[in-house]
Structure 1
């Protein structure tokens, strides 16, 4: 054997320090590049959203990410940065979402409306899970659609996906369905509320109780009127508050089914850290000690983080992947939309 070959294959030959650090450098570069790309996508989406306020920056970001992924070859080496954005940044954004809400706002709705909100989330999730089971969908796919359509849209889908360890395909499918069906609800709820003859307050409660995304509910409330906008926003944020309870339940369920012990089979936390962060942010906002300028800046950061996360998720959407999903998730999304809207409307009519 030649000396050159021995130098390459000899296991006792020292490895040059630069060879050890090269993979770490490559990964760090990939993380930085992926985060930078998602930041640029989020910035563009937020600028567009500023000039088109009826469209959520989260929606713009996920559509832009999907278009980029299917039109341009996104290099694989930036995947660590995309994963960081779609998971870590999203969890921080969900935690900061708590700064939008005060406990006093929820209590101010009255116990009747609060009961309606709880019913929407509980019955919405239960009904969607049952319908998905009849359709033969997986448990995780049903959970993602149920949480997204019953609580707070794409943020709830992504939060639940991190807790139940869902597949990327299931996660992206649920997010895409939330975007499509939630956007359809923006003109549908004001139109139907007018046909039914609901008052402005009743229509606002229905919008906040039935529409998937916070921004979508705000857009629909704005179409109905000023009074509807105010109550729609608070009702929708009350549904967001239920995110903490549902994620805690899912975390506890996964912990029970994860099996025990061992370094290779560590149990997930009883309550996800970002859920605790969400509750801390709600409590902090409820104290009234935070200056409004701090709240406004924090909400801007929260929107930017969630928009970057949605752009990262959009980069994982492939046309071929969506074609392989089939019609059953779409059917479940339609059924869930109608079911949640019906619960919300029945609750509005009962308590008002």
Structure 2
């Protein structure tokens, strides 16, 4: 045992040395965003995003890149998981059955429409499934998970890369614009949370948009968003059935991502434990503070990773497809909110 620990120590030191520059830059941006937010009254997530975008060149290459990638992925997921300490099963039950029904309807309808639109634009229907799944479920994570389940294709890697870039850029834009839409339509905090959680693609931007409005909105948006994440399981199973029906494999390497992301599982576990009342208030507060800082730091790193200019190299029709899917999703959720909630 001692031999294994001794052998692993240099590897951990090297890993820490590799990740530290990017993480520290993101943490400095988060600290600057917090300072600006306190002095000018604007949302800290928005400041973190804009400052991160201004430092975009750091994520392209160099010593900071590994740490920025780690922060935007792992630190983000840790922050979202810790949000479970702010949520109880009573809050989830208080939302009622309507948000659950809304999530199922919007995910299914958006994906089906995306497949049809892709065919009308001359693309393979699986490209529509890929972009529609990413739009309807959980952004880049869904795109990567679905890509691993779809049949091999010469354009598969390029389609996956475009989808990841496109959904990330649109989600960043939605994080800024959708809270304005909520205020324009005078949505209640609960309605705003359902709208944000039901429309924005990536978890980080949902959290950023929701908590920039209010705690109640942020809590509702997070719960609704994780309902969408849970829809990844049946959608991937359907994608796997499509691949089997076409007699194709599930992608190179033979390694699939987990059907349900670990951070979503951790969120629900912490929410269940938090619902028992066993967690002391001091521990809850510590978890909330760690979650807040993790998310602000992760948003800073996501801003650094945003590559809007790369969208120009893929042509107009794929961009129109993803923009149309995003606009349709927002309109559908707004209509269902007006009719059903």
TM-score by length of 2: 0.70
Asked if structure 2 preserves the Cα contact closer than 8 Å seen for 1:61 and 1:310, the reply is yes
Q: Highest CA radius of gyration, 1 or 2?
A: 1
For structure 1, which segment, 36-45 or 320-329, has the greater mean C-alpha deviation from structure 2 after superposition?
320-329
Q: CA deviation at 1:255?
A: 7.2
The aligned length equals 305
- Output aligned runs, 1:304-343, within 5 Å: 304-318=293-307, 320-328=309-317, 330-332=319-321, 334-343=323-332
**Residues 245-299 of structure 1, C-alpha deviation per residue, up to 9 Å, x if partnerless?**
1243466567776958x9x534443443333212212212222322344333323
2:88 match = 102
Query: Runs of 5+ in structure 2 lacking a partner?
Result: 1-9, 148-156, 201-205
Query: How far apart, in 2, do the equivalents of 1:254 and 1:94 lie?
Result: 27
**Is 1:157 the equivalent of 2:139?**
yes
2:274 match = 285
Query: Runs of 5+ in structure 1 lacking a partner?
Result: 1-21, 148-155, 194-201, 223-228
Query: How far apart, in 2, do the equivalents of 1:300 and 1:341 lie?
Result: 31
Query: How far apart, in 1, do the equivalents of 2:100 and 2:276 lie?
Result: 21
1:238 match = 223
1:225 match = none
**Is 1:39 the equivalent of 2:27?**
yes
**Residues 53-101 of structure 1, C-alpha deviation per residue, up to 9 Å, x if partnerless?**
55351x433432332124x696523333233223322332332233332
**Residues 308-346 of structure 1, C-alpha deviation per residue, up to 9 Å, x if partnerless?**
333333333345424324444653454344433433333
Q: CA deviation at 1:243?
A: 3.9
1:145 match = 135
Q: CA deviation at 1:126?
A: 4.5
Judging changes above 3 Å, is the alpha-carbon distance between structure 1 residues 349 and 173 closer, same or farther for their aligned structure 2 residues? closer
Q: CA deviation at 1:239?
A: 1.0
Q: CA deviation at 1:242?
A: 0.6
2:203 match = none
TM-score by length of 1: 0.68
Q: CA deviation at 1:164?
A: 4.3
